[in-house]
A = this chain, B = another copy of it.
Amino acid sequence: MTQRVFVGGTRVDALPPDNRGLSYGDGVFETMRVHRGAVHWRDAHWVRLEEGAKRLQLRLPGRACVDAHIDELLQAHPDDVLKLVVTRGAGGRGYAPRHDADPVWTLSTHPPPPPPRPGGVMVRWCDTRLAMQPLLAGIKHCNRLEQVMARGEWSQDGIDEGLMRDTGGQAVCATAANLFVRHDGRWTTPPVDQCGVAGICRGWALSALGARIATLDVAQVETADAVFLCNAVRGILPVARLGARGWLPHPALAEAIGKLADAHPAFADRLENP
């Protein structure tokens, strides 16, 4: 892992310890797929970051500055995963946000994701539920204890992801991916206006696959003709098994993966070894 730390527009050696990210998770982040030096969905990631910053009334560094540092970093890491975390900066005691503090932000590169499990991912239901908080729903903020607890529920290699329900019992997403299910020839994904994240790949799939947004209960997931998870780093991940329920490869899933590969070359490698 390579990591760089910045305060405002200046690169610094170390993270200031009075950082509100550390104290309160007072920040937003993006995790991006890089392929041959290019960041996939670069504009969409920035738009979501801006939406989160607006919701939290948090000041972002200038995009030109962030972009320049990203481009410099990617010269040595042209096919990694890139993570950007922006926090409100100084002010480690007292909840009152300081409006004059420079944002503290980090850029880090991480190894590309492992190839997807052949035939599809193995999924379970998590016991950890997502609280319903419209003020924080949809954005990619740094208050992620629910996801940490959900992901901590299993350690077996045989399970790749966990599906999460909200406290009302409706299916929402996986711990680190959005959820799409197919019924009657159409893809559906749950709303993210009470909890969950408006994923970048979810946004692409809504448009490219003509999917609809609607609540989904457990039975509607388990009786679907096909299910996939998706995120901006791994693209589309067909689900092969959810608890006792299994799915065979579905032609609509192959079609969706093909469309994504056409749109974003990082995901085209998948077609060689589907």
Q: Which residues of A does B touch, CB under 8 Å?
A: 1, 3, 5, 13-27, 29, 31, 56-57, 81, 83, 85, 87-88, 92-97, 106, 108, 110, 128-129, 131-133, 135-136, 141-152, 167, 175-176
Contacts and interface: CB of A to CB of B under 8 A. Distances in A.
A30 to B, nearest CB: 12
Nearest to A90: B1
Given A1-B92, A3-B92, A21-B21, 10 more contacts: A5-B17, A15-B19, A22-B85, A22-B142, A24-B25, A25-B142, A25-B143, A97-B151, A131-B132, A136-B145
Count the copies: 2
The 8 A-B residue pairs with the shortest CB-CB distance in the complex, in nearest-first order:
A25-B25, A14-B14, A131-B133, A131-B131, A24-B144, A143-B143, A95-B151, A21-B22
A108 B29 CA distance: 26
A214 to B, nearest CB: 22
A176 B95 contact: yes
A72 to B, nearest CB: 17
29 contacts: A3-B17, A3-B18, A15-B17, A15-B22, A21-B21, A21-B25, A22-B22, A23-B142, A24-B25, A24-B142, A24-B144, A25-B25, A25-B142, A26-B145, A56-B148, A83-B92, A94-B176, A95-B150, A95-B152, A97-B148, A97-B151, A128-B135, A129-B135, A131-B131, A131-B132, A131-B133, A131-B136, A132-B167, A133-B167
